Structures are given as C-alpha cells and as structure tokens.
Amino acid sequence: MVIRKAQIKDIKSVHALINNFAENGRMLPVSLSDLFGNVRDFTVACENNTFLGCCCLRIVWEDLAEIRSLAVAEDRQGKGIGRKMVETCLAEAKGLGVKRVFALTYVPEFFEGLGFARVDKSVLPHKVWADCVRCPKFPDCDEVAVLLEIGSE
C-alpha cells in the first residue's frame, strides 16, 4: 500500500467515495469543483493501482488545521488505512508549524485512538465562520469535535 499526495487522476475516485458515504448520511457531500480546487490538500491510499481511501488536511488558521473528508473503501476498513492517512496528514501539519488539529466526526472513537480528545465546538470559532455557516446542518451539527495538540518544531 502507498500513501501519497493526491493527483488530478485521483479526484473522480475521491469524489465517488466521499459522496457514496454522503448518500448514507455518514459524510457531507463535496463537489468535483471543490475537490479539483483543493487537490493539494488531499492524501490518498492506493494499492496496485486500486484507490483505497482519502484524507484531507485543511489549514484553517495560523495554528489550526482540520482533518476532513476521511474515507476508506468499505471492503478495506479496519486494516489501518485511515490511521496511516491521518498520521501522514498530522506529520504534514507538524512540518507546517500547525499546533492544533481537529476533526468533526461521527466516529470520535477512531480519532481518540490517535490521541485526539473530544472538545466543545465553541473552541473552534474559525471553523464555524469559515465552513459551518454554509453547511446545510448548521446550526444543528450532529458531529463530534475532536482536537489534538501536536505542537511544532
């Protein structure tokens, strides 16, 4: 298995995977336009030219980044692929000097296994004003906020 930065050729697979989960209410949908515009934020997992999953690291503020759009093909879940993609994104965040990384998730236990802690969404004001106000679920978000203090070098 290879974990690498996404390329243009990956975007249609990313789009299909994320929106498949969105159709089942497990993620928010994303447009192809948004994905192409943010391709550099994505990390993907592949094996033998088969797309396995994706994860996005979005810088939100000078000391804050978000892990978002984390998805692994249903038949490949539970094999550490999501963990490896998140760890890759956390290493990138640390290299950029980001001190805190958060996620909004329906599976907080996954992130807690990586050292994240549950927090109140009110500690993420930049996220709320950057993205949440445009979300169809705002202000009744049912995701759980988790946060990891990673420090910086």
- For the segment 14-29, what is each residue's pLDDT rounded down to a tens digit? 999 999 998 988 888 8
> How many CB atoms neighbour CB 107 within 10 A?
15
Q: Quote the CA–CA distance of 65 and 58 in Å, as a whole number.
A: 6
pLDDT for position 153: 47
Each domain of the chain, given as residue ranges in start order, spans 2-149
Mean confidence (pLDDT) of the chain: 89
Q: Which of 13-17, 47-51, 121-125, 128-132 has the lowest mean pLDDT?
A: 128-132
Best CATH choice for the domain 2-149 from the list 3.30.360.10, 3.90.1200.10, 3.30.1330.90, 3.40.630.30 = 3.40.630.30
Q: Map residue 133 onto helix, strand or coil.
A: helix
pLDDT for position 110: 96
pLDDT tens profile 64-74 = 999 999 999 99
* Residue 86: both structure tokens together: 């998140």
Q: Can you give the pTM of this predicted structure?
A: 0.90
Give the C-alpha distances (Å, rounded to integers) separating 110 from 11, 38, 49, 133.
25, 25, 26, 26
Which residues have a Cβ under 8 Å from the Cβ of 24 and sit 6 or more positions away? none
